[in-house]
Structure 1
Amino acid sequence: MAKVISIGNQSFESIRKDNCFYIDKTSFIKEWWENKDNVTLITRPRRFGKTLNMSMLECFFSNKYKDRGDLFEGLEIWNNEKYRKLQGTYPVIFLSFAGIKQVKYNETVIKIKDELIRIYNEYDYIMKSGIYNANEKMQYQSVCVGMSDTVAQEALKNLSNYLSRYYGKKVIILLDEYDTPMQEAYVNGYWEELVGFTRSLFNSTFKTNPYLERAIMTGITRVSKESIFSDLNNLEIVTTLSTKYETSFGFTEKEVFNALDEQGLPDEKEDVKKWYDGFIFGKQKDIYNPWSIINFLDKKEYNTYWADSSSNGLINNLVQKGSPCIKMMMETLLKEETIDVPINEQIVFSELDYSEDAVWSLMLASGYLKVVSAEPLVGNRRKARKYTLALTNLEIQFMFEDMILRWFSPAKHETNEFIRALISGDIESMNEYMNDVALNTFSSFDSGKHNSERKAPENFFHGFVLGLMVDQTENYIITSNRESGYGRYDIMLEPIDKTNEKYPGIVIEFKVINPRKESSLEETVAAALKQIEDKNYDAEIIKRGVKEENIHHYGFAFRGKEVLIDGR
């Protein structure tokens, strides 16, 4: 009988106690313990089982779960007698920063302190013993509402001291989603302030803590060592490109296919693979997104579960406000092609505003992109390696298509009005819409005012107009920068139904005014239309069955934020 799927349950104890669907990841316990690393940082995309694995570690090691071997019976780790004896034998401090998403620095620090207070309240019974002196009891009580930053930064180290003396064993510290506050700090403009606070907290907890047995931190990104980890030379960093713990987070193909069989869905394997496969950790290919798999098993229908489980706000913001080059590379990815970019695994948030490489690095770490191949690693390289990347799977492609459709669009209705005008040949409405959006939305950088490359603004508008057309895939085959006739057109819309005159063939050419050749936008747009005719861009769709008289030509001419569209 198929087990019940418990959506959103991140408690290992609850899942095991209620006999819910669970894919055995307990081999991670043995692998981590036998690696003997002092402090381990593991980065994986969101919703990849990080919190559940941390809960599993707590249930296994924490003396709060002494004699709770029943939670592990039937799982791989319980076959090893050595580990059966290890279960429930350590004091464990388990805390999470997952819920710390404040927009101001002071509010963020308060939330971190609240998490420390929660942990201290959990263990306040140890202060009733006679092994602590009056000063230590006062120090314990100082971790309270209104505590100073210094008290907070030393709190985990001090608690490690108290617990190790009480239980006669050093402590294990588990910190889940360590980088959530850091991402919020970047988005909301208080990065430098939070770096200072966090560096001191981490240094005290993980570097100068003699009461620490081992520690694990999890997160989405590897924040640059030069920022919050500058003092931690004992840190083992495991990213999505590392070979450690390759199958510990996410589901392997074998695990997914076994689950589909168990849930009575054996015929869905091919489509499930298209939708949710594609993640690569280290050398392990065919890793599936667990959040989407669990939701699919529960609801038995395809949807963008992982993409919809977060606002994707940071990625959306970086791509939307990124350079024309980033937008054109996104277009390449959406055409199911690859891009070649240098990747640096150390995310430096301060570089995201100006470094395209940092944007791709973040997208790879966050799971939106996958590695197709990488250049060989030669010697002791310090520069970033170049990787060939692609969108991870069909779910991510749909997410970005929806995202691009929403860009710069004041309302869905207005976007539809532009598309209707394009198809019907309403030049006046097209001009009104495009100039209104350009004036109110585009930055001067987007439109080329401060860019030395004359092609950059042309590329930007190209990507923007292409994004407006995403929802026309039922009516048109949309292509970009392809050869036809004697050149390469910018955008072509080939009607799927060649006999339906309601949907004409459409060829679009973009041009930025060249003051050396043209004195007005009228001359520029005329040059664009002439290029369509001279280069015979219609040749390709005429060959495919579109009548010549049912093809519309449009020229888009640009000068800064000013746009002129004409057609024939």
Structure 2
Amino acid sequence: MLRKLYPIGIQTFEKIIDEDYLYIDKTEYVYRMTHSDSKFMFLSRPRRFGKSLLTSTLQCYFEGKRELFKGLAIEKKEKEWTEYPVLHFDMSGGKHMQPDALQRYLLFILELKETEYGIVADAPDPNVRLLNLINTVHQQTGKKVVVLIDEYDAPLLDVVHEEAQLGILRDIMRNFYSPLKYCEPKLQFVFLTGITKFSQMSIFSELNNIANISMLPKYAGICGITKEEIISQMSNDLSLFAENLGLTTAEALDRLQERYDGYHFTWPSSDVFNPFSLLNALANNNLDDYWFGTGTPTYLIEMMRKFDVKASDIGEGIEADKTEFDAPTECLETITPLLYQSGYLTIKNYNKETDLYTLDIPNKEIRVGLYRSLLPRFVGGKLQGRGLTTMAKMSLLIRQDHIEEALQMLQTFLGTIPYCDNTDYEGHYQQMLYVIFSLLTNYPMDVEVHTPKGRVDIVIMTNTNLYLLELKMNKSADAAMQQINLKNYSQRFALSGLPITKVGINFDSTTRNITDWIIER
């Protein structure tokens, strides 16, 4: 069996079609967007989810390139194929820039468009140049203009944790976008994509007629690849992948789902796979952390530090009102909106009676990658590689039910790591163990688990055992075990059907290491 090449890293619709790369047909969404009540739209999706390809597809559609859409869903729906002038701006080139550089970048991308239409302009203000560009193109062509802006928030993301710098760059972008409202009569369609959501007043000035389609059920699968699309459009690819891994197609799909699936941008919604990781896995016949391997955004790590986010607070089934996790970026009171908008949390359920959504980590790739990014807080950046090696060995020991040897290995490793700040409280070690055990197990785990008589610090459930871990600092492992037995924590988990292993652990704040432990089965 042969398969088409995958467009990994290719975001140009015309190139994908002309060179016969695999294309997951999203043109029905294009038709839906362009034949709806609103002509101004905004879509938020995580990085590498296909926003740029969608924008490129819209460009080809509005340019009337009907031949590219042969055999696709939109071919049967669209009857007119009217050609419009398209102004397509990619803001991803404006990252990591100081205000002056950002101004120059905006003038540069405007000049490229001006040259296309033979326009000579020398106004120093990007908003004036954009206004003139739209007006002139409209006059030249006699047609309304389409404006497509990809990654509109890219110049702002890296400074989202710096209030002063964010304010300056935000004003520059707000001024640039301001003509879109003024030129409304001359515009056929306006579409903006991004990762985060800034309020309309802060970014789009008076552009209050833009429809945010990010959470509308009819656009749930507009980006990414759904399970239904894999079955209907990639069945051959799935069979090849399964054959190369020695799996049945059902087993292969289960592996892919566990690793890359689980995204929902509304509820109810089809399961959405991360397209970048999925295509890389199929191309390489290997389940790896592709999306996370491209790097954790700096802004996210900085914001997690700013909000002092605990590892155990992420993805524990967070219940939230829509305004809490879809809040404008400049109005953040918690890290939850950024985690959701960036793809590290997703919707897992919705309760109509309470109007509350349940958020959680989408899949294994995100869970492991996120905790790996948090590991340097506890083991130091230079020792992170050694830490991951230790985690892998500990993982095998726990799967084999050798908790004693796993703790010995952890004690040896902790003796090698440098001083970390804020290690004089029990919660530090609880969070450190939570991150470590999250990395070394594929099993359910939780912290501060409530029982009738108290809370268990850490609970881990494997295929063969249920571990109850109680931590103490500057006391003794015996004191930790006494607490487990005194409050009869094991009674809470008696119905699990698994043997219960109780583990009392004591940390010393001076040596910053485990001093002793007790294990009772």
What TM-score, normalized by structure 1, do the two folds share?
Answer: 0.74
In structure 2, what is the equivalent of residue 132 of structure 1?
none
Given that 1:61 and 1:92 are in contact with CA atoms closer than 8 Å, whether structure 2 keeps it comes out as yes
In structure 2, what is the equivalent of residue 450 of structure 1?
none
Which of 262, 274, 285 is residue 289 of structure 1 equivalent to?
Answer: 274
In structure 1, what is the equivalent of residue 219 of structure 2?
245
SS of the residue corresponding to residue 104 of structure 2 reads helix
CA positional deviation for 1:243: 2.6
Q: Supply the distance in 2 between the matched residues of 1:218 and 1:477 (Cα, whole angstroms).
A: 35
Amino acid at match of 1:10: Q
CA positional deviation for 1:21: 0.8
Amino acid at match of 1:368: Y
Q: Does 1:490 align with 2:457?
A: yes
In structure 2, what is the equivalent of residue 405 of structure 1?
375
After TM superposition, the structure 1 = structure 2 runs for residues 138-217 of structure 1, keeping only pairs within 5 Å, are 140-142=120-122, 148=124, 151-187=125-161, 190-217=165-192
Gap change, CA 1:460 and 1:121, over 3 Å in 2: farther
In structure 1, what is the equivalent of residue 201 of structure 2?
226
Query: Which portions of structure 1, spanning 4 or more consecutive aligned residues, are displaced by more than 6 angstroms?
Result: 416-422, 425-429, 476-479, 483-486, 492-498, 536-541, 543-547
Q: Supply the distance in 1 between the matched residues of 2:319 and 2:410 (Cα, whole angstroms).
A: 40
Q: Supply the distance in 2 between the matched residues of 1:351 and 1:81 (Cα, whole angstroms).
A: 41
In structure 1, what is the equivalent of residue 365 of structure 2?
395
Q: Does 1:510 align with 2:472?
A: yes
RMSD, matched Cα? 3.8
Q: Supply the distance in 2 between the matched residues of 1:99 and 1:32 (Cα, whole angstroms).
A: 26
Alignment size in residue pairs: 485
Percent identical residues: 25
SS of the residue corresponding to residue 114 of structure 1 reads helix
Gap change, CA 1:492 and 1:56, over 3 Å in 2: closer
Gap change, CA 1:26 and 1:413, over 3 Å in 2: closer
Q: Supply the distance in 1 between the matched residues of 2:453 and 2:220 (Cα, whole angstroms).
A: 50
Gap change, CA 1:409 and 1:170, over 3 Å in 2: same
Given that 1:250 and 1:290 are in contact with CA atoms closer than 8 Å, whether structure 2 keeps it comes out as yes
Q: Does 1:78 align with 2:107?
A: no
Given that 2:46 and 2:195 are in contact with CA atoms closer than 8 Å, whether structure 1 keeps it comes out as yes
In structure 2, what is the equivalent of residue 3 of structure 1?
4
In structure 2, what is the equivalent of residue 554 of structure 1?
505
SS of the residue corresponding to residue 472 of structure 2 reads strand
Gap change, CA 1:403 and 1:185, over 3 Å in 2: closer
In structure 1, what is the equivalent of residue 343 of structure 2?
367
SS of the residue corresponding to residue 301 of structure 2 reads helix
Q: Does 1:317 align with 2:302?
A: yes
Q: Supply the distance in 2 between the matched residues of 1:101 and 1:373 (Cα, whole angstroms).
A: 35
Gap change, CA 1:421 and 1:10, over 3 Å in 2: same
Q: Greater CA radius of gyration, 1 or 2?
A: 1
Given that 2:161 and 2:303 are in contact with CA atoms closer than 8 Å, whether structure 1 keeps it comes out as no
Deviation string 1:86-118 (CA, Å, 9 cap, x unpaired) is 2xx111101110122115333233222222222
Which of 211, 223, 227 is residue 236 of structure 1 equivalent to?
Answer: 211
The worse-fitting range, judged by mean Cα deviation, of 103-112 and 476-485 is 476-485
User: For structure 1, which runs of at least 5 residues remain unmatched after alignment?
Assistant: 128-139, 379-384, 448-456, 499-504, 512-520
In structure 1, what is the equivalent of residue 441 of structure 2?
473
Q: Supply the distance in 1 between the matched residues of 2:233 and 2:102 (Cα, whole angstroms).
A: 40
Deviation string 1:513-536 (CA, Å, 9 cap, x unpaired) is xxxxxxxx56x9885565356557
Q: Supply the distance in 2 between the matched residues of 1:372 and 1:181 (Cα, whole angstroms).
A: 31
Deviation string 1:35-71 (CA, Å, 9 cap, x unpaired) is 1423111112222211111111111212xxx5x4321
After TM superposition, the structure 1 = structure 2 runs for residues 45-64 of structure 1, keeping only pairs within 5 Å, are 45-62=46-63
In structure 1, what is the equivalent of residue 16 of structure 2?
15
Given that 1:58 and 1:92 are in contact with CA atoms closer than 8 Å, whether structure 2 keeps it comes out as yes
In structure 2, what is the equivalent of residue 130 of structure 1?
none
In structure 2, what is the equivalent of residue 339 of structure 1?
318
In structure 1, what is the equivalent of residue 262 of structure 2?
278
Q: Supply the distance in 2 between the matched residues of 1:308 and 1:507 (Cα, whole angstroms).
A: 32
CA positional deviation for 1:176: 0.6
Q: Supply the distance in 2 between the matched residues of 1:26 and 1:428 (Cα, whole angstroms).
A: 57
SS of the residue corresponding to residue 207 of structure 2 reads coil
Q: Does 1:105 align with 2:85?
A: no
Amino acid at match of 2:472: F
Given that 2:292 and 2:366 are in contact with CA atoms closer than 8 Å, whether structure 1 keeps it comes out as yes
